[in-house]
Amino acid sequence: MLEMLGHQPDGSSSFMQIIFWLLRHNEDLPFIIGQIASTVKVKVKLISYEYDSYLAADLGLLFAQSPQLIPDDWQFSWGGRYETTLLLNALSIRCAYHFIAIHFGATAKGLSGAGGDDLVLVV
pLDDT score recorded for residue 58: 92
pLDDT tens-digit profile of 78-105?
888 888 888 878 888 888 898 889 888 8
Residue 110's pLDDT band, with cuts at 50, 70 and 90, is confident
Q: What are phi and psi of 64, to 5 degrees?
A: -80, 155
CB 58 within 8 A of CB 39: no
Mean model confidence pLDDT for the chain: 78
Per-residue pLDDT at 7 exceeds 70:
no
Alpha carbons 100 and 123: distance in angstroms, whole number:
16
Residue 23's pLDDT band, with cuts at 50, 70 and 90, is confident
Q: Which residues pair with 29 in a beta bridge?
A: none
What are the helix (H) ranges across the chain?
15-24, 31-37, 53-60, 81-109
pLDDT tens-digit profile of 30-46?
999 999 999 998 887 77
Alpha carbons 103 and 23: distance in angstroms, whole number:
9
pLDDT score recorded for residue 119: 57
What would the mean pLDDT of 42-68 be, rounded to a whole number? 83
CA atoms within 13 A on the CB side of 27: 0
Alpha carbons 37 and 30: distance in angstroms, whole number:
12
CA atoms within 13 A on the CB side of 10: 0
51 sits in the region (left: phi over 0; alpha: psi -120 to 50; else beta) called beta
Angle at 71 between CA 68 and CA 77, to 5 degrees: 105
Tell me the pTM. Answer: 0.77
Residue type, 35: Q
